[in-house]
Amino acid sequence: MTQKSMKNLAWVVIIAIMAVSIFFVFEMVKNASMETDLDEYMPKEHPAFVYSDQAEKWFNIKDGILIAIENVDGIYNQATLQKIKDITEGLQDMPEFEAADIVSLYTADNIIGNEEGLDVKSFYKNVPQTAEKLKELQLNVASNEMVQGRLVSDNNQVALVVAALNDSVFSMEFYDKILAFADSFNGPEEIYVAGVPIVEGTMAYLGPKDMKTMVPIVILVIVIILYAVLRSVRNTLATLFVVLFSTIWAFGLMSLTGIPIYAVTIMIPVMLIAIGVADGIHLYNHLDLFMQENEGVNKIEAIKDMLKNMWKPVVMTSVTTAVGFISLLTSEVLPIKYFGLFTAFGVMAAMVFSLVFIPAAIMVFGIKKKKIIHKDDNNHASFAYSFAEKTLKHKVLVISVTAVLIFVSIFGIGKVWINSSFLENFERNSDIVRTDAFVNKHFGGTSMINVILESENDGVMLQHDVQKMMVQMQTSVENVETVGSSFSIADYIKRMNKVMNADEEAFNVIPDENDLIAQYLLLYEMSGDPENLWKVIDYDYKKANITFQLKSDNSKELNKAIEAIEVFRKPFEEKGISINYAGSGYKALVFTGLILTGQIKSLILSIIIIILLLSLMFKKLSIGLIGSIPVVLTAIISFGLMGLLNIPLSTTTALISSIAIGIGIDYAVHFIDRYRINALETGDKLATIRETMHHSGRAIAFNAVVVIVGFLVLLFSVFPPNRSLGALVSMNMFISFLATVTIMYLVLYKSNVFFNKKNKRTDI
């Protein structure tokens, strides 16, 4: 094939790749969608989620949007009460809510006693117009424990409107709509919007928005560093286009298959940047060294030599990296499965582009002429040789330091904890955190755990001893620092017993007669809205829902509350009643636990598969074990540092192990393959390690510098998870690099692998 025909073929390759990429871009613009409902992240078939979903239907459990109205002079004035009414009615008119699910001082039931028995009526239908009526309203609220402290703060300066949101209606459009609606009521009262949907919505909004801002900056910095390493605009752009094309194809395929973008999958470009640039750096590094050592070589010969020597390590690193991500399919969390699948696809696409697009770009745009440098005059070679020899000379120190790091890291791993908190993904001084803190300060809490009591026998929940045990549980759990309040059928019974006994506080207890409890409920059903009752007990009185409000969604605090609840499991079981959990707070806790167990399974599985693949590729089991050293060390040290620095595992940080495998195995494969080639060529161990350090060690160092500097830019992100991602990716890059050129190199050298008795052996 002539040079002209090869150049024409190269143009065809470039145009074809660009044409398909443009198609995928249009596909993304047309069909790409962002999944903002975090319930869709949950594995629907998991028993905990199946039960929770069922319980939510039984008791109409929904996440609530909380709108707090603050008047520092007190809410008991005509303007503020009118505003509470207007906000309530405005929410009732929105299609995203059911009118019965909007609870405020305006809609709350006031259970009172009268001459005929029990009466249930609203606190006000029309805003009181006189001072006497306003005072009467205030006294009525103050005497009702079911409202005071729940819908009106104890200092009477803040009122709360709770709007339970219908399932699967949350969207960014609705998020903007509800914030604009609340903002329209600002002044002179302060309006605050909080609740789980708002926190989740803000995270779904800010995370991708911040990543859209930071990724271009990361790319810009990586381009600058790439140019400093490759010393060529055309080489830098070709390497960058490999990453961009692989990202476009990954997201294009997602759009083509109708899979939405999740908060987790938005990190795919970050992963592909970290991994994709490696192939280009190694290819161009080999090309440069070949041209420096071969004067007068033309570009066709250079391309052939590059592909001949580099296709195998490029394919091996891509396959092993893809396996690391494919192992995430073991996760029970759907977005993580998609993350693993499409990142693996992007890695393989980057491999193809590296082996096809880069040679085509070299064929079309040529090669930058390199100055011929003899090895004796090459500063890079001299440094590489010196590093190899000194590492070998001080091998005891290197091994000792590594052992200490492993020991300390194992200690740190014991301190690693999982955090299901969405709120802690934000800056402490951010509006969303300050708003949540404000509502938590004045009310029971913005996070919920629903405890479902269930028996096979009708009427059990109306027995006075069961009711009293509910009260004991509520009182005990409320002693946990972050538990603000609780609510159950027992609160209704206590209130009715009190008002039926002249409002005397001594009767604010569960009565001792089962018949009296049943009578109270009958009176309530006749006088009030029984729909409210079915939120805390079922029609057959064999299931009950106790809601605990927490002032934090931190996993440690949720677990403390659950520990306090579990104390009552055995006493309830003795009465034939089981304890189960439901609601978004509990599901978030289970969700993060699944992420951790999924990561552990995928990490172990991927390491095993990688050892087997490397063993098959190099036809030696020992090579598989040696090649896994950077991966294992990076994972151990990374998780150890997270424990020591109190960085919790979350949906972001838990995925760092995937990067550790993807990056660590790349370095190992390139280093081992070059070591094998040099061993066959020289037959001398010292010469082999010197040349390997000069060739692959140099490329690995370049790759590490490019990505470490690029991802350190994420430390300037306004979104804390992205800062954690940047710091951990950079740290993993450095650990993988260092582990490859020190401890793995020493094990490789001392193992005598690729050498036999006929080889020359030179030990230090």
Residues 129-142 as b/e (b if ≥16 CB within 10 A, e otherwise) read eeeeebeebbeebe
Residue 555: pLDDT band with limits 50, 70, 90 = confident
In angstroms, the CA 738 to CA 409 distance is 16
Q: For 141-159, what is each residue's pLDDT tens digit?
A: 999 999 999 999 999 999 9
Q: Which domains does the chain have, with CATH numbers?
A: 3-36+202-413+589-750 (1.20.1640.10)
Q: Tell me, what's the pLDDT at 335?
A: 81
Q: Cα separation of 359 and 366, whole Å?
A: 10
| Per-residue confidence (pLDDT) for residue 350, from 0 to 100 | 93
Predicted local distance difference test score (pLDDT) of residue 370: 55
Look up residue 760 and give its DSSP letter: B
- Host H or E run for residue 110: strand 109-114
pLDDT band of residue 138 (cuts 50, 70, 90) is very high
Express as a percent the part of the chain with pLDDT over 70.
94
Cβ–Cβ contacts within 10 Å for residue 119, how many?
A: 15
Which tens digit of pLDDT belongs to each residue from 86-101?
999 999 999 989 998 9
Q: Could you tell me if 13 and 360 are in contact, meaning their C-beta atoms sit under 8 angstroms apart?
A: yes
Query: In this structure, what DSSP letter does residue 505 have?
Result: G
Give the model's pLDDT for residue 378. Answer: 53
Based on its alpha-carbon atoms, the radius of gyration of the chain, rounded to whole angstroms, reads: 33
Q: Find out whether 264 and 401 touch, Cβ atoms under 8 Å.
A: no
Contact indicator for 643, 415 with CB cutoff of 8 Å: yes
State the pLDDT confidence band at 710, using cuts at 50, 70 and 90: confident
Mean pLDDT score, 635-657:
81
How many CB atoms lie under 10 A from the CB of residue 559?
Answer: 14
Q: How far apart are the C-alpha atoms of 96 and 191, rounded to whole Å?
A: 20
Residues 672-698: pLDDT tens digits? 988 998 888 888 888 898 889 888 888
Residue 473 has pLDDT above 80, yes or no: yes
Q: What gap in Å lies between CA 602 and CA 327, rounded to an integer? A: 5
Q: Say how many CA atoms lie within 13 Å of 641 toward its Cβ.
A: 16
For residue 669, pLDDT beyond 80: yes
Mean pLDDT of 618-642: 90
Q: Are 510 and 497 in contact (CB under 8 A)?
A: yes
CA geometry: angle at 326 spanning 585 and 601, to 5°? 55
Are 243 and 272 spatial neighbours (Cβ–Cβ below 8 Å)?
yes
pLDDT tens-digit profile of 295-305? 777 888 889 99
Instruction: Summarize pLDDT for 486-511 with one digit per residue, the tens.
Output: 999 999 999 999 999 988 999 999 99
Look up residue 190 and give its DSSP letter.
Answer: E
Q: How confident is the model at residue 639 (pLDDT cuts 50, 70, 90)?
A: confident
Q: What angle do CA 719, 724, 725 make, to 5 degrees?
A: 95
Phi, psi of 646 (to 5 degrees): 60, 35
Give how far Cα 334 sits from Cα of 41, 44, 186, 598, Å.
6, 9, 40, 11
CA-CA distance, 302 to 286, in Å (whole number)? Answer: 9
Segment among 36-45, 140-149, 370-379 with least mean pLDDT: 370-379
Q: Is 760 a residue whose pLDDT tops 50?
A: no
Q: What is the pLDDT of residue 452?
A: 97
Q: Could you tell me which of 587, 589, 582 has the C-alpha nearest to residue 55?
A: 582
Distance CA 471, CA 487 (A): 9
Element (H, E) at 280: helix 268-293
Q: Give the Cα separation of 224 and 233 in Å (integer).
A: 10
d(Cα 124, Cα 139) in Å, to the nearest integer? 13
Rounded to two decimals, the pTM is 0.80
3-class SS of residue 751: coil
Whether the predicted pLDDT of 727 surpasses 90: no
d(CA 473, CA 467): 10
| Mean pLDDT of the chain, nearest integer | 87
**Tell me, what DSSP letter sits at residue 97?**
E
Phi, psi of 331 (to 5 degrees): -70, 150
The DSSP line for 550-600 is ES---HHHHHHHHHHHHTTHHHHHTTTEEEEEESHHHHHHHHHHHHHHHHH
Q: pLDDT band at 396, cuts 50/70/90? A: very high
363, 369, 373, 379: CA torsion to nearest 10: -90
At 325 the pLDDT is: 83
Burial class of residue 646 in the structure, from the number of CB atoms within 10 Å of its CB (0-12 exposed, 13-18 middle, 19+ buried)? exposed
Q: Is the distance from CB of 721 to CB of 422 less than 8 angstroms? A: no
Cis, peptide link before residue 197, omega less than 30° from 0: no
Please check the confidence at residue 116 and state whether its pLDDT lies above 80: no
Rounded Cα–Cα distance for residues 545 and 558 (Å): 17
DSSP state of 418: B
User: Could you tell me if 540 and 461 are in contact, meaning their C-beta atoms sit under 8 angstroms apart?
Assistant: no
CB 303 within 8 A of CB 362: yes
pLDDT at 761 over 50: no
Residue 277: count other Cβ atoms within 10 Å of its Cβ. Answer: 27
Band of the pLDDT at 214, cuts 50, 70, 90?
confident
H/E stretch holding 69 reads: strand 64-70
Distance between first and last Cα of the chain: 49
In Å, how far from its chain's centre is CA 387? 39
One-letter identity of residue 498: K
Q: How many CB atoms lie within 10 A of CB 122?
A: 11
Res 373 pLDDT > 70: no
